[in-house]
Structure 1
Amino acid sequence: MARMFQSLLVFTGRVAHGVRVAGFWSLIYGYCLLCSLVALFKLWWSLVLRPTTTLQWHVRDCPPACLCDTSLGTHCYVRIKESGLRFHYVAAGERGKPLLLFLHGFPEFWFSWRYQLREFKTEYRVVAIDMRGYGESDLPLSTDSYRLEFLVTDVRDIVEYLGYNRCCLVGHDWGGTIAWIFAIHYPEMVSKLVVLNCPHPSVFTDYALRHPSQLLKSSHFFFFQLRHFPELMLSINDFKAVKSLFTSRSSGIGRKGRWLTAEDLEAYLYALSQPGALTGALNYYRNVFSFFPLSQKHVRSPVLLLWGEHDTFLEQEMAETCRIYIRNHFRLNIITGASHWLQQDQPEIVNTLMWTFLKEKKDKRS
């Protein structure tokens, strides 16, 4: 009787787990369908009302002059033996100085750190890498090649290749997510962590599930699960949607800071117009619902979290909640007037706050 009861409990548990899993994926793909229908309507509307709308785009063959600016650093390449991938990075500052490593977000590349490369090269070996699938780094074809564990391992391999066993790690957007997870899994390799407009992964997951407003702001996560269609929507009318991300009044760079110049914008379009570039960038999102279990969630390095007041993609309330996952000094600065792209539209403020944090000698407890 006891054995039968135990078997019944096990069976009930498995059924409940199956229902939860089915409900989880039904929610995801149901929301994907809704987002795709909205996008299809927008596409139809633009084609009907704007006959000049074109589904074509052109590949930029010649990089703009700003990408060849020697004041930003030297362009270098490294091939990692374990993954076989070649990575491109821009480095400045003397070798042997402490390593300050920058990880960019979507849909950016190393160029998003141009103001910081110039600023910190006097006292650090500054390195801004093109993450896998971006810029001049290799672009694996398989979607599974962009799983979080591979992206985190890339950072470890690059730090070791550069000849360091520790670094000050800086990440923005997707680069921030990778930076958080890297600091959790390799605490001995992160002396200080700076994250811009990206909450701790556990904070984001918990908050998004409980707040419909953040779920709506994250609707692109679901839309990007589709194949090919998001690439089309981002690239039609010569990347009009991408241009809007960087220049619109609601989400763009320069609300109360520096504007993105025409040449700067062309640099992003040059990188994203290369064959397969958009697919590589979107593959980060296509693995976002693949579980990457964290054996422990706490960060033991000192953390500086910088947040743009007018980020239209993330709720500001998540920033303060990150404090519960830090087992060291934690500092949060909300930058007034800054957008999601705060290191580009408010570089002077970002650099000043980073200098103050990096120069602190002792790790203060929260």
Structure 2
Amino acid sequence: MTDFPLTRIALPTGVELDVAITGPEDAPPLILLHGFPESHRTWRHVMRHFQDRYRLIAPDQRGFCNSSKPEGVENYQPKHMVADLLALADHLGIETFTLVGHDWGGAIAWMAALNHPDRVTRLVMANAAHPFTYQKALFDDPDQRMSAQYITEMRAPDFEDKVRAMGWDAYFDSRFAEPSAAVHITPEERAIYLQQWLTPGAFTAMVNWYRASPLIVPPAGVEVERPAYLSRPFPPVTQPTLLYWAMDDYALRPSLLDGIETLVSDLTLVKASGGHFVPWESPETLIAAMEDFLAA
């Protein structure tokens, strides 16, 4: 197990984040954003590998672990996490940076890159769905729509009660149901996850990310009207972008790559085997792809 010390940082956005920071202060900065249901630790292998050459900053994002958990679903709208990201960079004296994202962290990274190209110079994305292709696939791809029904379940007001009735061990097994993930989780890692989820207020705060998201998840097997904006052009991401995609991801299907080259003008796409939790399931292959991309 590779852990990094955490620094508590109060931000002008009204939250305090625990942040893992390693690497030379004067080295090029990489800010790494985790997804659900994780923490900065998802990047532990990547951070250990690159800490001799880069300044690596990996926060526990708002709502997760011991970082602040403001009450109210509205406090988990994506714009707030983007604001946290920029405030964190400002606090550390970082003007521009490479942004690395996985899962929900990738969603925040896409949004930050689109809205703040003056700050985000490059993107490294690991199984992180582009917001346009994700919304489009939820209307056009029945398999992706079926895979996303868990979001509707999580948005229900009694979801936390259902999880408690199910039992935390059973819920844990459902979150890491893909065999590729299950075989990589040791009893020690399992205990860390459960401890983080059971931090007071953390589970509701984590779920509130889904409740606050503007993403439309249509019911499976039902004809629904397709939003007109899905047929209109979408602004391109202009930063050089590495998109690493593990093709056996059940939650995020390969259809999410359809048309991605029209949405990212400088794209390096790497397709690989493996499941959703790329940063610790397949760290060696992700690191190899990052080495090539960052060197270029």
> Please, which of 147, 160, 170 is the counterpart of residue 231 of structure 1?
160
Question: Would the aligned equivalents of 2:43 and 2:280 in 1 still touch at CA under 8 Å?
Answer: yes
Deviation sequence 1:242-270 (CA, Å, 0-9, x none): 23322x3446344xxxx211111111111
Verify the 8 A CA contact 2:125 2:242 in the aligned structure 1: yes
TM-score by length of 2: 0.89
Distance of aligned partners of 1:359 and 1:245 in 2 relative to their CA distance in 1, 3 Å threshold: same
Sort the Cα spacing of 1:345 and 1:178 in 2 relative to 1 into closer, same or farther, 3 A.
same
Judge which range, 318-327 or 89-98, deviates more. Answer: 318-327
1:96 aligns with 26
Query: Counterpart of 1:252?
Result: 181
Q: Give 1 or 2 for the bigger CA radius of gyration.
A: 1
Residue identity in the other structure for 1:285:
Y
2:212 is aligned with 1:287: yes
**Structure 2 matches for 1:192-341, cutoff 5 A?**
192-227=122-157, 229-235=158-164, 236-246=166-176, 248-250=177-179, 252-254=181-183, 259-289=184-214, 297-327=235-265, 329-336=266-273, 338-341=274-277
Measured after TM superposition, the shift of residue 296 of structure 1 is 6.2
Gapped runs of 5+ residues in structure 1? 1-65, 361-366
**d(CA) in 2 for partners of 1:251, 1:289:** 30
The DSSP-based 3-state class of the residue aligned with 2:270 is: strand
CA distance in 1, matches of 2:213, 2:93: 31
Partners of 2:93 and 2:187 in 1: CA distance: 37
* Aligned-residue offset at 1:289: 2.5
Match of 1:345 among 276, 281, 285: 281
Q: Is the 8 A contact 1:102 1:169 kept in 2?
A: yes
CA distance in 2, matches of 1:205, 1:251: 26
Tell me the distance in 2 between the aligned counterparts of 1:297 and 1:196. Answer: 21
Secondary structure of the corresponding residue to residue 232 of structure 1:
helix
Alignment equivalent of 1:354, drawn from 286, 290, 294: 290
Moved over 4 A (4+): none
Write out per-residue CA displacement over residues 52-76 of structure 1, whole angstroms, 9 at most, x where no aligned residue.
xxxxxxxxxxxxxx5xx5xx43310
Q: Report what 1:61 is aligned to.
A: none
CA distance in 1, matches of 2:270, 2:260: 12
Larger proportion of helix: 1
RMSD across aligned C-alpha pairs, in angstroms? 1.9
Q: How many residues align?
A: 280
Residue pairs, 1:4-43, within 5 angstroms: none
TM, length-normalised to structure 1: 0.73
Contact 2:141 2:255 in 1 (8 A): no
Percent identity (aligned): 28
Letter in 2 for 1:233: K
